[in-house]
Amino acid sequence: MKRKFNWIDYCIILFIIAVIAVLGLKIKNIRSVDLTGNNEAVKTKKDVILVIEDVRQYSVDALQLGDNVYSDDTNYYFGKIKNIEVEDSYLPLIKNDGEGVLVRSPEKYNIILTVECNVLDRPNGVFAEGITEIKVNSTGKYKTIGLLFSAITKGIQE
């Protein structure tokens, strides 16, 4: 039994073609976004300074130059360790006479990491690899192959 197309069949076919065309244009616009004007983005290499406070010797030994750093929140690549500085950690204490002093914390260290990142500067923020937002003086969770740590972002340098 052969059936001929009527006007309802043609309307359904035209509707499906229109939906496919609109979706195709949306996907094409998303993929080929021209980042000009207000949405201008510039990708550059910058050094991000991370400070890890009050950690033991194991954490100091677990970090190596050239290790890849990943954001623990997004599981995306953050950057590569360029420099590691280790400092003694100090605690503020109050003496019996009320005077405040800094005392060396036993077996604890502060680590200053310089991480080289591919940074995407956008008007609404700075993003490592275009994904992980970097805010100065904020705490983030990061990981390397040997260590999971929380660090404070102290600065972004050229």
How many Å from the N-terminal Cα to the C-terminal Cα in the chain? 75
CB 118 within 8 A of CB 136: no
CB 69 within 8 A of CB 134: no
Question: Amino acid letter at 100?
Answer: G
pLDDT of 133 over the 90 cut: no
Question: Amino acid letter at 119?
Answer: V
pLDDT at 126: 86
The secondary structure element, H or E, covering residue 111 is strand 100-122
Q: Nearest-CA neighbor of 113 among 157, 48, 56?
A: 48
pLDDT at 34: 47
Q: Give me the percent of the chain exceeding a pLDDT of 70.
A: 90
pLDDT at 41: 58
pLDDT of 117 over the 90 cut: yes
**Alpha-carbon distance 96 to 13, whole Å?**
87
Q: Which two tokens stand for residue 136?
A: 């100065």
| pLDDT tens by residue, 5-41 | 788 889 999 999 999 988 887 776 655 444 444 455 5
The domains of the chain are located at 37-157
Q: Nearest-CA neighbor of 113 among 81, 140, 155, 135?
A: 81
pLDDT at 30: 57
- Pick from 79-83, 127-131, 139-143: least confident: 127-131
Strands (E), 13-99: 42-55, 68-71, 77-94
